Amino acid sequence: MPEFVTFSRNVFIPVTNICRNHCGYCTFRRDAGHPEARLMNISEIRQILEKGEKAGCTEALFVFGEYAEEVPEYLLELEKLGYSSTVEYVADLCELAIEIGLLPHTNAGILTQHELEILKPLNISMGLMLETTAELKAHSESPGKAPSTRIEMIRTAGKLQIPFTTGILVGIGETKADRKRSLNVIADMHREFGHIQEVIIQNFMPKPDTPMADHAPPSKEEMIETVSIAREILPDDVAVQVAPNLIDPYILIKAGASDLGGVSPTTIDWINPEAEWPDVIELQRMTKEIELRERLPIYPQHIKKGWYSSNLSDLIETLTDKNGFKRKQQ
């Protein structure tokens, strides 16, 4: 059992849910024209950031549908806000978060090297779920879920020395061998570039009104086994992360998990809106005798390496203790 497990406190901002992919399990995406389709404006986002900062959050998690610019209606809405590309908009949102006192972490789906280079100076870390290296029916209408495309982006982030989050989604039609293969690919990329901070082992949750609504989720036994395999395969300096709003974290900590990801005191999990975040008191109850330690969206080892830009230096100094974790409030 670990001496402690880590978590971060964040605000989850779904900037747009318009997406080119049509994954078989997703209820986040919306088609343009749907009553719930959104492109959040800066005023809305500022309010969320300010509320989060007051609640002690350190991370601004910006999440986007992938390449929404391919949807003409979205591009028109973006242009009304004064932007010609999503990345241009994200960059301004990251600057706003830094101004308010939060460290940006962007997960915008597939990005080119040029786009990553634009966002790197304004993000403390970034992310892209690999999900799986297998070709699955669940991704048959999702060009951005091609395993080779996702691997290429994760490798590019490594070349650019961007602290990075990735992970696998368990129970979407892949096999145990597929999971091992995916984890080995991630491990190999980290050994080459040293940029993977954490690997999420996330359990698929069936959602109503999706093609996979009747697809069974993975059992607890499958999740315990997968976390154990992940801990065996991944290098020691890569955290195994699990989602405490989706599964009992204690059974997975015993199997090798050491991080509980971002939890928010002010925003919901927009990917799994039916699953409420536990608050920090509940989180400590869930982890029983194991100490909870709050971190930033950049891990201590990457702070020590100096893998962040001068744009973020003042915030890092303000928010961290001598060990690179979140400074405790006086």
User: Helix or strand or coil: residue 11?
Assistant: strand
- How sure is the predictor about 225, in pLDDT bands with cuts at 50, 70 and 90? very high
- 150-208 tens-digit pLDDT: 999 999 999 999 999 999 999 999 999 999 999 999 999 999 999 999 999 999 999 99
Beta strands 291-294; 164-170: pairing state: unpaired
Q: According to the model, what pLDDT value does residue 330 have?
A: 53
Q: Give me the percent of the chain exceeding a pLDDT of 90.
A: 92
Residue 329 has pLDDT above 80, yes or no: no
Tokens of 223: 């999740």
- 227-237 tens-digit pLDDT: 999 999 999 99
Q: According to the model, what pLDDT value does residue 283 have?
A: 95
Q: Give the CA-trace dihedral at 172, 173, 174, 175, to 10 degrees.
A: 130
Q: Looking at residues 41-51, what average pLDDT do you find?
A: 97
Which strand (E) or helix (H) includes residue 159? helix 147-159
Q: Looking at residues 300-310, what average pLDDT do you find?
A: 97
Q: According to the model, what pLDDT value does residue 1 have?
A: 80
Q: Are 284 and 323 in contact (CB under 8 A)?
A: no
- 73-102 tens-digit pLDDT: 999 999 999 999 999 999 999 999 999 999
Residue 24 has pLDDT above 80, yes or no: yes
Q: Give me the percent of the chain exceeding a pLDDT of 70.
A: 100
Among left, alpha and beta (phi > 0; psi -120 to 50; other), residue 261 is left
Tokens of 316: 């890092």
Tokens of 328: 């405790």
Whether CATH 3.20.20.70 fits 4-319? yes
Q: Are 173 and 54 in contact (CB under 8 A)?
A: no
Residue 308 has pLDDT above 70, yes or no: yes
pTM for the model stands at 0.96
Cβ neighbors of 285 (< 8 A, separation 6 or more) are none
Q: Looking at residues 260-287, what average pLDDT do you find?
A: 94
- The Cα 309–Cα 288 span in angstroms is 37
Q: According to the model, what pLDDT value does residue 290 have?
A: 95
C-alpha dist (Å) from residue 107 to 94, 154, 322: 12, 12, 28
DSSP 83-141: -SSHHHHHHHHHHHHHHHT-EEEEE-SS--HHHHHHHGGG-SEEE---B-SS--GGGTT
- How sure is the predictor about 328, in pLDDT bands with cuts at 50, 70 and 90? confident
- How sure is the predictor about 116, in pLDDT bands with cuts at 50, 70 and 90? very high
Known binder of ligand: residue 57?
Answer: no
Helix axes 42-54, 86-100, angle to 10 degrees: 30
Q: Distance of alpha carbon 243 from its chain centroid, rounded? A: 11
Highest mean pLDDT among 30-34, 223-227, 279-283: 223-227
- 268-280 tens-digit pLDDT: 998 998 999 999 9
